């Protein structure tokens, strides 16, 4: 079997490994990323990296649960979210709050609303996904 670049790469020091990754990144569409960035990323503790993975697994579990609840009863699912946002507990809901909850559902259905979240948050998600967090947080820097 022929020797691979990885064989030598895995034996490099942190500094040389960071520079090597920076060089490889530049070779992809001439994208400049300073080696300092890679050095910081490679220096992160294993706990930090695992934490992100655990977080995604929890989000996946919650997502699956919410998706099945929404499919089972869209009205009750939406009303539960509404009460969460309004800080109202279903066990202590007052008649006026119940009336308001039912009315909001009726108006939502009449308007055939498809999204649960405020459209500005959906747009923020799309912009961040397409343009990256740096552009989303500092949009005017690219105009200069």
Backbone angles phi, psi at 11, to 5 degrees: -100, 0
pTM (2 d.p.): 0.58
Contact 43, 18 (CB under 8 A): no
Q: What pLDDT is stored for residue 64 in this prediction?
A: 97
* CA 61, chain centre distance (Å): 15
Report the C-alpha gap between 59 and 112 in whole angstroms.
Answer: 27
DSSP state of 94: -
Q: What pLDDT is stored for residue 95 in this prediction?
A: 93
* Torsion sign over Cα 69, 72, 73, 76: negative
Nearest one of 32, 44, 35 to 15, comparing CA atoms:
35
- At 41, is the secondary structure helix, strand, or coil? helix
Q: What pLDDT is stored for residue 140 in this prediction?
A: 65
Residues 6+ apart with CB under 8 A from 43: 14
Residue 37, CA distances (Å) to 25, 26, 85, 105 in order: 12, 13, 39, 48
Q: What pLDDT is stored for residue 113 in this prediction?
A: 84
Q: What pLDDT is stored for residue 143 in this prediction?
A: 45
pLDDT digit string (tens) for the chain, length 144 residues: 788 888 888 899 999 999 999 999 999 888 899 999 989 888 888 887 788 888 999 999 999 999 999 999 999 999 999 999 999 999 999 999 999 999 999 999 998 888 888 888 888 888 888 888 877 777 665 444
Q: What totals of helices (H) and strands (E) does the chain contain, helices first?
A: 8, 0
């Amino acid at each position: 079997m022929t020797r691979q670049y990885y064989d030598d790469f895995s034996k490099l020091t942190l500094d040389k490994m960071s520079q090597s990754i920076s060089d490889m990144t530049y070779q992809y569409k001439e994208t400049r990323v300073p080696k300092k960035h890679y050095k910081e990323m490679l220096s992160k503790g294993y706990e930090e990296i695992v934490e992100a993975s655990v977080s995604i697994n929890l989000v996946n579990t919650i997502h699956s649960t919410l998706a099945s609840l929404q499919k089972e009863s869209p009205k009750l699912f939406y009303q539960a979210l509404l009460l969460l946002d309004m800080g109202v507990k279903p066990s202590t809901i007052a008649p006026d709050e119940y009336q308001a909850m039912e009315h909001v559902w009726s108006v939502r259905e009449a308007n055939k609303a498809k999204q649960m979240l405020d459209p500005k948050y959906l747009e923020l998600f799309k912009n961040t996904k397409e343009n990256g967090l740096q552009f989303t947080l500092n949009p005017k820097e690219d105009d200069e």
